[in-house]
Amino acid sequence: MQFNLTYSEVGQFVLDKTGKELPLSYGGPHTVRISYKVPLMGSVGLDVNVERINGSDIFLSYGGGAGIEFMVRTALGQLKKQPSADMLEILDGNRLLLALGKSPQLSTLFDHITLKDIHFDEKSVMVDFVPKS
């Protein structure tokens, strides 16, 4: 089974929750490009790659040039103040672990489905999953 979200739907969700615009675009089958406007610097691009999925854990890597690691770590530091901060772990080598199973709401979902893949096309994020029997 597959669940699709357009980049504009994801962007609207982020805007509604944070008040920040975060345009997404296709970067490859397992890569999404994220743009972020930084005051006095203009727009900064970040490529986020879905490396692998293990149960409800999603392993991501990111890159985008000089200064990106500092900016990402700063942003992640701000996220650590949020209620669901324990879902995100910073790993070595510009990598992140998104532990979706640590969310009470999502852990219930993972009792019923197995996440298979997250991939991208020109317009959408696609999440492949199968129901558990």
From 24, 83, 94, select the one nearest 59 (Cα to Cα): 94
Q: Is the pLDDT of residue 88 over 80?
A: yes
The percent of residues above 90 in pLDDT, for the chain, comes to: 55
Q: What are the tokens at 127?
A: 């999440």
Q: What is the pLDDT of residues 27-62, one digit of tens each?
A: 999 999 998 777 777 777 889 999 999 999 999 999
Residue 79 binned pLDDT confidence (cut-offs 50, 70, 90): confident
Tell me the C-alpha distance between 14 and 64, whole Å. 21
Range 81-85 average pLDDT? 74
Pairing assessment for the beta strands 88-91 and 113-120 based on DSSP bridges: unpaired
pLDDT of residue 116: 96
What order of strands is seen across the sheet that includes strand 88-91? 24-28, 31-38, 42-54, 57-63, 95-99, 88-91
Range 99-103 average pLDDT? 92
pTM of the shown model: 0.86
Q: Which residues contact 36 (CB under 8 A, 6 or more apart)?
A: 20, 22, 43, 44, 46
